[in-house]
Amino acid sequence: MAAAIETAVSQGRLSIKQIRELKEANVNFHSMIPESLRENLFKKTVDQIFSSGTGEFEEEEVYHKIPLDLYINAEKAKGVVQDLARSRLSNSLIQAVALLRQRNRPGVVSSLNDLLACDKAVPSEPLSWEVTEELADLFAIYLKSDPAPEKLSRLQYLLGISDSTAAALREMGDRGLPIGAEEQEFVF
């Protein structure tokens, strides 16, 4: 059984939910799985949270409950979370812009939610981007997704969108979306 659990963890086929089920069944899995593999499982779990597209990050769950379930050091786990959040924050912005350029609205919203989840873990200063119009386009698309007011406010801060620009984008509605964001017909 120990070998099967260790193999499942190393191949990424075991989730925190399944670990909790083992724990409830009184399986002493932490003695079967080396600490390094439990730490890798933690990192994969946090990475999934930061790429879920929901924008959710629950400190209590990530900093306390999951490390406790995996029998790993909570302080070390917190450092892993913060390092991962910092590295994924700018990657999420790059991903959102790439999806904006591909006119993939749902992908843009998902990437911006990932950015917000990373920001919840490690609050960030406003991000910089060379093309400010793209930041406004990102904000406009996110605005249309009907987000929670606190998420929209935080995204406005992170993208460096002024209150006057945000108000103008709200007033413009669909007209404020990037040119070509709607499907175009090409006539040959």
- Map 14-25 to HEC letters: CCHHHHHHHHHC
pLDDT of residue 172: 85
Q: Structural domain boundaries of the chain?
A: 34-176
DSSP H/E element including 67: helix 66-70
Any idea what DSSP says for residue 12? T
pLDDT of residue 181: 42
Amino acid at 11: Q
pLDDT of residue 175: 56
pLDDT of residue 174: 53
* Burial of 186: CB neighbours in 10 Å, binned 0-12, 13-18, 19+: exposed
pLDDT means per 10 residues, the chain with 188 residues, are 78 83 84 86 93 94 95 95 95 97 97 97 94 95 95 97 93 58 45
Any idea what DSSP says for residue 128? -
pLDDT of residue 4: 81
∠ CA 73-29-77 to the nearest 5 degrees? 20
**Could you tell me the pTM of the whole model?**
0.84
Instruction: Give residue-wise pLDDT tens across range 48-64.
Output: 999 999 999 999 999 99
Instruction: Report the C-alpha gap between 166 and 98 in whole angstroms.
Output: 22
Residue pair 4/33 in contact by the 8 Å Cβ criterion = no
Coil vs helix vs strand at 27: coil
C-alpha distances out from residue 104 to 64, 86, 97, 154, Å: 36, 25, 10, 22
